[in-house]
Amino acid sequence: MLLRHTNDTIIEREALTINPAKTCQPVGAMYAALGIHGCLPHSHGSQGCCSYHRSALTRHYKEPVMAATSSFTEGTSVFGGQANLLQAVETIFTVYNPDIIAVHTTCLSETIGDDVNQILQKARDDNYVPEGKFLIHCNTPSYVGSHVTGYANMVTAMVKYFSGKSVTKKNQVNIIAGWCEPSDMREIKNITSIMGIKTILFPDTSDVLDAPLTGHHEFYPKGGVTVPDLVSTGDSRYTIGLGPFCSEDAAVLLENKCKVPFDILNLPIGLEATDKFVMALSKAARVHVPDEITEQRGRLVDMIADMHQYFYGKRVAIFGDPDTVIPLTEFLLSLDMKPVYIVSGTPGNKFGTAMSALLSEKVPEAKFKNGERADMFLLHQWIKQEPVDLIIGNSYGKYIARDENIPLIRVGFPILDRVGHSHFPITGYVGGMNLVVKMLNAILDKEDRECREEKVELTM
């Protein structure tokens, strides 16, 4: 028993988090920055933070993640990091030649109070930034929020630094991607391409963190939203934000700055969320939904109808990021499953509101919590009180899954011990089918392993 100290007696905790269901802000800022073409993320803090953030992303995406650091020392911690950051900007543009350096802070630089905005302005004034190159930044103090907050902050910085309004509106729709896999971003673009809609997806990590092996090392892979595209987001007809936690701040800023109206939807995970996304696209771009999309939907509905008997009434525990967990809960409800325990380490009132709306009538016994104390320990205690048939979450769920002999399907961040998540989407109707298959296989594999011999079935 790996987690043998977990018991089922829940004591209200005010100050202690045990096995958090989140990681730190800069990880999200670094991931979002990689969704800009030719961008080198820069961590303004100590080398240890940067190494951890890079390794978290590298282990999840199975791709080398490049990022620079201000390499704070004891002296920097006392006197501030301005000299280090100025030196870093000069060195990075000279040696690594990115188009953009995206700076995020860390606990240390936030605690000593470095004014990164002022330091970057000094770098520009002192000609450390070559012509046609850019510096952007966001603040990511990791003692508040989570990696999701850091992602949202860097996405908002993209709007703050780049979005501009010219005299001519463009017949295009902005899509602000909440935290999802490169495969999900690719699937979102597939849907808009089938619908014939010109979109600007930002950030866009497809072809960055799922780039093919070509035999040549590309320091800056071909993917990522470009700076001209980011600039033109201010001229778009409409903005669709996918995932309120990651996209709403940026969408609000874009409306305030450039008067681009917006709609905030859930990430298109599952049938209903994808329906809403497709209809929002159709309305924003004033196009009909093409047959190909309708047929994709029909295939997902057919699979759900065929497999309904295996899902009906199954109790599920879910943990992860709110923008993923909320539409996932909605999808499970549409399969007549019972999402009974849900936790997310990311704080924010939107989580409770969304969960209450989804669960209060359909699964009134469901328990959900988010924020600091919504940790893996609490989830395990709930499961010990009354078990579930399936766990959905990242790799950290494997300890609970093993101790309680419950199948786990890996969805979310980080997934450190499996592959495939960067390549097979869970968004869109195609992604919905992938999710259905994953859940079904996990449930049936356990059934085949553990049922009595006379109950083993060759066919479904």
**Residue ranges binding ligand SF4 (CB under 6 A):** 24, 26, 49, 52, 106-107, 142
Shortest Cβ distance from residue 121 to ligand SF4 (Å)?
Answer: 24
Closer residue to ligand SF4 in complex, CB, 52/310: 52
Closer residue to ligand SF4 in complex, CB, 56/254: 56
Pairing mode of beta strands 338-344, 238-242: unpaired
Strand partners for 138: 104
Q: Which residues of 309-333 are buried (b: 16+ CB within 10 A; e: fewer)?
A: ebbeebbbbbbbbbbbbbbbbbbbb
E-strand ranges in 45-187 read 68-69, 100-105, 134-138, 173-177
- Inter-axis angle of helices 291-311 and 271-285, nearest 10: 160
Determine contact, residues 284/214, Cβ cutoff 8 Å.
no
Closer residue to ligand SF4 in complex, CB, 107/363: 107
Closer residue to ligand SF4 in complex, CB, 142/296: 142
Closer residue to ligand SF4 in complex, CB, 84/174: 84
CA distance 278 to 296: 12
Shortest Cβ distance from residue 120 to ligand SF4 (Å)?
Answer: 19
Shortest Cβ distance from residue 153 to ligand SF4 (Å)?
Answer: 13
Closer residue to ligand SF4 in complex, CB, 138/355: 138
Shortest Cβ distance from residue 115 to ligand SF4 (Å)?
Answer: 18
Closer residue to ligand SF4 in complex, CB, 113/132: 113
Shortest Cβ distance from residue 53 to ligand SF4 (Å)?
Answer: 7
Shortest Cβ distance from residue 29 to ligand SF4 (Å)?
Answer: 10
Closer residue to ligand SF4 in complex, CB, 51/360: 51
Shortest Cβ distance from residue 51 to ligand SF4 (Å)?
Answer: 9
CA geometry: angle 121, 57, 411, nearest 5 deg: 130
CA distance 227 to 126: 23
Identify which of 405, 244, 438 has the alpha carbon closest to the alpha carbon of residue 335.
438
Contacts for 93 with CB less than 8 Å, ≥ 6 apart:
101, 128, 129, 130, 133
Shortest Cβ distance from residue 43 to ligand SF4 (Å)?
Answer: 8
CA distance 345 to 26: 15
Q: DSSP letter at 235?
A: G
Shortest Cβ distance from residue 107 to ligand SF4 (Å)?
Answer: 3
Q: Which residues of 238-264 are buried (b: 16+ CB within 10 A; e: fewer)?
A: bbbbbbbbbbbbbbbbbeeebebebeb
What SS3 class is residue 374?
coil
Closer residue to ligand SF4 in complex, CB, 85/177: 85
